[in-house]
């Protein structure tokens, strides 16, 4: 089956990203296809490479980056939600006149159309959030 | 992307306490360009999103409620409201913004977008969807 995953909550504060990660990993292990993982609302905070959790805890951001690299996942961060919350890649930072960028490897910033397309293209859109 | 799917946006939260309502509306507006079969459902505190007379001036937040009235122009014409959620909050249809659309199949007659539905009807509505986005 082909899945699109939507994550609506940030890391650590909420379980959504953890559950979505475990779901995505399990689906891939079972041979399913992940069409896209879309980060929305505070979910965009899963994409900052400046996250530095304690050593004895999971690193939610790095874990997504590693999974993306291993399975060639399409991790998409909503541009409008990202701008509100200070998540930017180099291009976005330049465009908005910011002096820094923070997008973690394996993520890309794009529009909400990517979420709708994900809903159209996948067999199931699974939403993780409140 | 030639196939049309049934999309249901479920709005369950009050408009200003969290950002979900505003960002849900942003998805609906972008999604309208994809020419899918779109439905909106307002339930629980989500019914307050389309309450009449919203004034956010003193809260220093953007009042985005006028945007709901524009959805008809984006061919988003099916707005379901959970009857029970309204009743639980002491609201009636008259407390909601009068949302309408022009029916191009009926000589552009102005029609009501809002339909009050029961929990049973909501279950049936959800059953027939391809994609449900819950905010």
Digit-coded pLDDT (tens) for B63-99: 999 999 999 999 999 999 999 999 999 999 999 999 9
On whether the CB atoms of residues B113 and B99 are closer than 8 A, the answer is yes
Tokens of A8: 């609506």
Contact A116 B34 (CB under 8 A): yes
On whether the CB atoms of residues B135 and B9 are closer than 8 A, the answer is yes
Q: Tens digits of per-residue pLDDT, B7-64? A: 999 999 999 999 999 999 999 999 999 999 999 999 999 999 999 999 999 999 999 9
Tokens of B39: 């439905």
**Helix, strand counts (H, E) of chain A:** 5, 5
Domain that holds residue A41: 2-128
Contact B133 A81 (CB under 8 A): no
CB distance from A83 to chain B under 8 Å?
Answer: no
Q: Can you give the pLDDT of all 130 residues of chain A as single tens digits?
A: 999 999 999 999 999 999 999 999 999 999 999 999 999 999 999 999 999 999 999 999 999 999 999 999 999 999 999 999 999 999 999 999 999 999 999 999 999 999 999 999 999 999 999 8
| Residue of A61, A78, A115, A125 with catalytic role | A78
3-state SS string for B36-65: CEEEEEECHHHHHHHECCCCCHHHCCCCCC
CB distance from B32 to chain A under 8 Å?
Answer: no
Per-window interface: A 43-82 vs B, CB < 8 A: 80-81
Q: Class of the B6-134 domain?
A: alpha beta
**Phi then psi dihedrals of residue B91, to 5 deg:** -105, 155
CB pairs under 8 A between A and B: 49
Alpha helices by DSSP H, listed for chain A, are 16-29, 60-71, 79-85, 90-95, 113-121
Domain boundaries, chain B: 6-134
Note the pLDDT of residue B50. 98
Other beta carbons within 10 Å of A111? 13
CB distance from A13 to chain B under 8 Å?
Answer: no
On whether the CB atoms of residues A24 and A34 are closer than 8 A, the answer is yes
Contact A117 B31 (CB under 8 A): no
Rounded to whole angstroms, how far apart are CA atoms B62 and B90? 25
Q: Which residues contact A97 (CB under 8 A, 6 or more apart)?
A: none
Say how many domains are in chain A: 1
* CATH (domain of A50): 3.40.1260.10
pLDDT band of B3, cuts 50, 70, 90: confident
Note the pLDDT of residue B44. 98
Note the pLDDT of residue B2. 53
């Amino acid at each position: 089956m082909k899945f699109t995953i939507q994550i609506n909550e940030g890391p650590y504060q909420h379980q959504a990203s953890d559950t979505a990660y475990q779901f995505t990993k399990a689906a891939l292990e079972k041979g399913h296809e992940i069409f896209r993982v879309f980060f929305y609302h505070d979910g965009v905070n899963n994409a900052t490479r400046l996250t530095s959790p304690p050593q004895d805890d999971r690193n939610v951001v790095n874990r997504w980056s590693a999974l993306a690299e291993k399975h060639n996942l399409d991790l998409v961060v909503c541009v409008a939600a990202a701008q509100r919350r200070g998540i930017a890649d180099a291009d976005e930072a330049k465009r908005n006149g910011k002096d820094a960028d923070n997008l973690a490897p394996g993520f890309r910033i794009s529009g909400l159309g990517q979420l709708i397309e994900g809903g159209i293209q996948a067999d199931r859109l699974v939403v993780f959030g409140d | 992307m030639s196939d049309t799917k049934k999309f249901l946006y479920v709005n369950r939260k009050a408009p200003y306490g969290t950002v979900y309502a505003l960002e849900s509306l942003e998805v609906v507006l972008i999604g309208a360009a994809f020419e899918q079969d779109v439905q909106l459902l307002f339930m629980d505190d989500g019914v307050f999103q389309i309450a009449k007379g919203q004034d956010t001036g003193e809260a220093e937040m953007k009042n985005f409620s006028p945007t709901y009235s524009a959805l008809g122009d984006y061919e988003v014409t099916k707005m379901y409201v959970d009857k029970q959620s309204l009743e639980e909050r002491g609201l009636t249809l008259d407390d909601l913004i009068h949302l309408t659309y022009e029916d191009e199949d009926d000589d552009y007659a102005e029609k009501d977008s809002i339909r009050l539905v029961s929990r049973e009807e909501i279950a049936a509505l959800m059953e027939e969807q391809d994609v449900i986005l819950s905010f």
